Every structure is written in C-alpha cells, then in structure tokens.
Structure 1
C-alpha cells in the first residue's frame, strides 16, 4: 500500500462507492470526486455518498471532472499520486438521445484527468473502460468465441456512441502513456450488478417493475446474453490492478468479468426466484446500440493477480434483492 491519498472519481456512483469503501477498509485516505448529476435518481447518489461521509480518511469533492483547471488543482493540492477514474456518462441508449453529455463527461472529462495526472507526477492511473468496445459479436452465443472476448481482439466497430467514447478514452490513454511515461491501466467492465447498483440496468428496472406488478419489456426477444459480474468481484479486480501498475510509460488493458455469460431469460428466471414472483413479459426486438452477447476472457487479469470471480448470479441477485427491499421498504 502506497503513501498518500487515492483520488476516486465517480465516488457517488455504483462502482465508485464500493471501490472507495474497500480502500478505506484497508486504511487508505480517499478523496472522492463526483458531480452528482441527475442521469438517474440523485437521492440514490446522495445515499451512497452518505455511506462514505464521516468515515475516517474520506472526503468528498463536488466537482465536474471536465473542468480541467479545477481537477488539475485538486490533484496538485491533494498530493495524490494514484487515481481510480470511474466517473463517466454511462448508458448505451441514453447516448443516442444525449450525445453531448458523453462528449463532456467521457471525452473532455477523461482528457482532463490525463492532463492532471501527467502534470502532477501520478504514479498510476486506473480508469474504467467497458465491454461495449467489443461491439456486437453474436457468434459468442454459438460457441464461436469459446474463450470469450480477449484484450487483443479488434475493437474498431462500436455500435453506440457510448462505446465509441470508451474506446477513444483507451486510445487517448495509450498516447499519453507513450508521450509522458506514466503508468496506466484500463479496465473493461462486463455488466456489473449488485447492491447500490444503477437503476438504468435491466436487473434493477426488472426488480422495480416485478415488485410493482408491472410487466417488463424483454429486448432482443430474450436472446441476448451478458457476462454478469458481481460488484465485489469487480472491486477485487480494480484494487488488484491498482496495486500492480505497469512499468513507467506502460499501458495495459484488462477485462474484468465473470467469464460465464448468462442468457437474459435465465437471468430473469433467477431474479423471479429471488423475488418470489413471476414477471409478466413483453417481448421486444433489439434496440439500437445493444449487443447480442458479452463474454470476458479473464486470463490476463488472472495472470496478474490470480483473479477469479467468486459470486455467481443466483447468490449475487439474492444479495441485490435483499438490499433493494431494505432500501425501498414497503
């Protein structure tokens, strides 16, 4: 464990909350950064932040990472040499309706973080990418990708603006690592779920509707599959990578996933069992920007830190449902 604080951007977000908690649990000083936008219910973000407020070693800064001068000053004044950059505008479908939100958060915001890191001697920048960069590869369902998506696969055919911005972040980071010789690691997350999750994710929205007795819309007519990855397993990967930077000037990309894709209908069946209720299902065609399947090859991360996911979908959805019922009583 290195001296000095760790900056976690997006600390009031789903993954950011859990990463900050894990760092605090092991005695780190953590500076959280978040803009608290209203992409989804701000009350959920406030509740996440409340879990962190008051913990020894934690402070939250309300700041837009795309404000390059303000973020550079924060990094400089804090003395932080490690950054876990998780802040971003998420959501594939939202990017179709609000493209300029992605320009600001994901492009200008990422560049702002890179500039702050290179001007302040940051020793390791870990940043969030996405499995969306792999594009649509339906052959994975038919056994054509038996080992899953690998980090060396071509990622030049994004099917959403969100995916395009995440790939652009990777390319910017590769260039900065070579130009300015500070280590960076990009993390391609695969369908993260669990307590304190994002309401725009399918499992969360399905839970809301099933408990309310409302029908759920099943896109792709149920033929999609996702490599659902429980939040604790994601955090294991993030912290493990943070502690193992590449050499100076190095840039590495790692998949963090469950390595076990589950069909959408199987996920719904598992969720119904956890809720004790059956959903009324309305089958819909694929939506623009969606991909048929995701499937993470995690051999590279396993080689680095011995990474192996521990929580399977049945257990993970059960934990989520328990949290959901406690957070939304009645």
Structure 2
C-alpha cells in the first residue's frame, strides 16, 4: 500500500521529483518481492471537470486545471502504476480516495473544515461560520482505512480502480448539528445558503460489491468519535 506523499513547496518540479521517486521506489520493491497486489492512493480530485453529481469509476477523466499539485500527481500516478506493473504478477489497485477526515489528520488542515471547526469547539471558541447548504463527499478515517484494508486483502478483485469513501455527501448543516449534539454549549452559526447546487460525491457500489464494505460511521457517530479521540490526543 503506497499512501505516502509530501507537501508541495515553492518549486513544483522538486515536489513532483520527490513524490515520483518515492512511488518508483515502492514499485521497485513490489516487483522485486513479487507481492500479489500494489495499491496506490489516487484522489477524488481526478474527477474534477466531470458534470455528474455521483462519480463512478468508469467515467472518462477529463483534462482539467487542478487546484493543488497533489491532485495533479495523484492523477499522473494512475497510469504510472498500471504501466510499471505490466508483465508482472503484481495486481495494481488504484484507490480514488474521497474527502477523508478524522484521527491523525492535521487539526488545522486546509483540506477539510471539520478538524479545525471541532478544534475551535474543544478550545471553547466560537468556530467559524460555514455556508448553510454547502456539502462535500465525506469519509471518516477509520472507515477509509477499513475499506483500503479490504481492497488489499480480498482474495480476488475484478477491477483495477475503486472509489473509497462513504458513498454520500454531508452538508455543513448536518455536520454542525452533529457537533452541537456532542457540545451543545458551543453554538456555531451557519451562513446563508449560496445555492451551490448538489455536491458531487463518490459512488462506492463497486467497492461494496467486491469487498462487502459498508461505512460504520455516519456523520453523528463520526463527530462523537472524533471529539472523544481529540480530548486525549493532541492530533
């Protein structure tokens, strides 16, 4: 399983060289050791530019401008992995991972509003107001980890590409209500809706059919678990 990556600095070439070197090292190890399966973290961002709301693995990936170098590398990693393993007995598995959040994530992460919001609540501060009707694909980290584990240990996998997420979007209103259920003394405001329309999310029908995976955490259970985890862990 190759899930590693670095944080881009000012030089994109340096970032791509670092992450590509790490990926190629892992591929060399997989081929040398003759492992049965090589799973690599791809991204929900690969689908950027698709007009659909529910993103499935068989959608052609468009050419698009990506908001972050990490997404660009994740998209490039897919054909690198599949071509590097051609002619070997190592099965590639491309993990298009959704908006995962939870324990061990940077508590002030810019990639998800949830940990910083809950961090403010736990400090007794009023968290920043979130747009009422905004939503995002959302998967709690323990669920994402279990899905990836199932994909790497399943006796057989009939596909190469798998979406990894909860299979449904979560709105800011649902998230804030879940936080209030745990810490009702902190009232977080919601900004008026911006009528952004439905949020795109990952379809996990293939993941469920091939591994039996179903999420154990809805947003209420995820928030309660994360708040409990954060009270005894700094990150």
TM-score range, shorter chain: 0.7 to 0.9
The corresponding residue for 1:278 is: 187
Match of 1:150 in 2: 56
Q: Which residue of 2 aligns with 1:87?
A: 4
**Greater Cα shift, 207-216 or 307-316:** 207-216
Relative contact order, higher structure (CA 8 A, sep 6+): 2
Q: In 1, are the aligned partners of 2:173 and 2:190 still within 8 Å (CA)? A: no
- Paired residues for 1:1-330 under 5 Å: 84-89=1-6, 95=8, 99-100=12-13, 102-137=15-50, 145=53, 148-156=54-62, 157-160=64-67, 161-199=69-107, 200=109, 201-212=112-123, 213-216=125-128, 218=130, 221-244=131-154, 252-276=160-184, 277-279=186-188, 293-328=199-234
Deviation of residue 268 (structure 1)?
2.7
In 2, Cα distance between equivalents of 1:101 and 1:217? 37
Gaps of 5+ in 2: none
Measured after TM superposition, the shift of residue 312 of structure 1 is 0.5
Distance of 1:105 and 1:214 partners within structure 2 = 39
Q: Tell me how far 1:270 sits from its aligned partner.
A: 2.1
CA distance in 1, matches of 2:229, 2:84: 40
Contact kept? 1:193, 1:231, Cα under 8 Å: yes
- Say if 2:135 and 2:169, in contact at 8 Å, map to a contact too: yes
TM-align CA RMSD: 2.9
- How far, CA to CA, are the matches of 1:158 and 1:114 in structure 2? 27
Relative to structure 1, is the Cα distance of residues 325 and 152 closer, same or farther in structure 2, using a 3 angstrom cutoff?
Answer: same
Equivalent residues of 2:101, 2:139 under 8 A apart: yes
Query: Please, what TM-score do these two structures have when normalized by structure 1?
Result: 0.59
Structure 1: which 5+ runs fail to align? Answer: 1-83, 286-291
- Give the TM-score normalised by the residue count of structure 2: 0.81
Query: For 1:187, what is the secondary structure of its paired residue?
Result: strand
Q: Secondary structure at the match of 2:231?
A: helix
Please say if residues 216 and 282 of structure 1, whose CA atoms lie closer than 8 Å, have aligned partners that are also in contact: no
For residues 258 and 205 of structure 1, the distance between their equivalents in structure 2, rounded to whole angstroms, comes to: 21
Q: Which has the higher helix share?
A: 1
